[in-house]
Amino acid sequence: MKNIEAREPPSMAEAESYWKSLWGEEAQHNERAEWIRREQKRKVSYMGWMPIEITETTSYLSKAHNWKSPGSDQIQNYWLKAFPATHRHITKNFNAIIEEPEKAPDWLTTGITYLISKSGDSKEVRNYQPITCLLTMYKTLTGIITKRISTHLEEQSLLPAEQKGCHPGNKGCKDQLMISKAYMRTAGEETRT
C-alpha cells in the first residue's frame, strides 16, 4: 500500500459538506419498475423473525477477527470471545433492541471516521476515502442479521447467480474475473480451430 502524506488536509467542515452532497440527498427511484411487479408476483415464503439465540452470537464471534479495528468502545472481538459468559447478556440486549428499536442507545450506531488520502492534492477533500470504524457490538448485531437474511435469500433462490458478491463463500469480483478469463480462453481456442 502506498503511503501518501497529507500536508494540508481539508477541514472537518469541508469534508462533511462534500460527503453530505453525495450521500445526504434522498434519491428518487422508479417504484413502478417492471422488475418490482415481477418480484411481487413470485411466491416467496415470508422471512419470519425469531429472537436471536445465544448460539448465533457465539457463532458470529467465533468467526470474527480477534484484533479488527473497533469503534469508540475500543472492545476487540478477542475479549468477547474470551468471556463467553457475556454472550447470554449480549444476546438478551440485542433482542431488546430489535423488539424496541427506539430504545437502542445512540452509542450503538456511532462510529469513528478517518479520512484516508488516496492521491492527488491533499487539500482537496475528494482525494480522500472515508473509513468508519463501527462498534464491535454493532458489527456483531448486524452480522447476525446479515447471516439470517443471507440464509433466507439462498433458501428462496432470490439472488441471481450473476450476483456473485452477495453469495456466501464467493469472492465477488475475483470469481467473476476468473470466469471471464476462462470464457475468453475458451473463445480464443475455438476461434483458432
DSSP-based three-state secondary structure for 186? helix
DSSP-based three-state secondary structure for 60? helix
| CA dist., res. 180 & res. 193, Å (int) | 20
pLDDT tens per residue, range 72-98: 888 999 999 999 999 999 999 999 999
| CA dist., res. 120 & res. 28, Å (int) | 33
Element (H, E) at 59: helix 54-63
| Mean confidence (pLDDT) of the chain | 86
Q: Give the three cell numbers for residue 40.
A: 411481487
Q: For the chain, what is the radius of gyration of the CA atoms?
A: 22
pLDDT tens per residue, range 15-59: 888 888 887 778 888 988 988 888 888 877 888 899 999 999 999
| CA dist., res. 192 & res. 30, Å (int) | 46
pTM tops 0.85, yes or no: no
DSSP-based three-state secondary structure for 116? strand
The full 3-state SS of 79-102, as one line of letters, equals HHHHCHHHHHHHHHHHHHHHHCHH
pLDDT tens per residue, range 95-139: 999 999 999 999 999 988 888 888 878 888 888 888 889 999 999
DSSP-based three-state secondary structure for 182? helix
Tell me whether residue 136 is exposed, middle or buried, using C-beta atoms within 10 angstroms of its C-beta: 0 to 12, 13 to 18, 19 or more.
buried
